[in-house]
Amino acid sequence: MTSEEALRRLANEPSDAQALESLYAHNRTVIDAAIEKWFGRNAVIRHATRYVLGRIAVRTDAFSPECETPEGFVAELADEESMRLHEKLEQRIADSGSGGHLVG
């Protein structure tokens, strides 16, 4: 299935595992690049990938093929959701008083 077909299926059913796998297979490079941009290369990446894919799945109803390509849409969401997760984790670290950072 194409990225556009996967996006349409996910818009109707965000838990469609086959569509999500297909979307990731077609867009792995941009998704992984967005996650690496915000988290570097470490053990968090595997968990971040699942989170980002899940967030992309629930936001696919915003995709408009008349306005953007599926790949551009996925790349933008991957970056937004990676940044959001990074900020959320940084805030939790700050709230815990540790003062540490996720990426060094």
Q: Which residues, 6 or more positions from 56, have their beta carbon under 8 angstroms from its beta carbon?
A: 10, 23, 31, 74, 77, 78, 81
Q: Where are the domains positioned within the chain?
A: 3-95
CA distances from 9 to 22, 24, 66, 82, 91 (A): 11, 14, 17, 23, 34
Q: What is the pLDDT of residues 80-104, one digit of tens each?
A: 999 999 999 888 888 886 555 555 4
Q: List pLDDT tens digits, range 51-67.
A: 999 999 999 999 999 99
Global model pTM greater than 0.75: yes
Q: Which amino acid is at 4?
A: E
Contacts of 49 (CB under 8 A, 6+ apart): 31, 32, 35
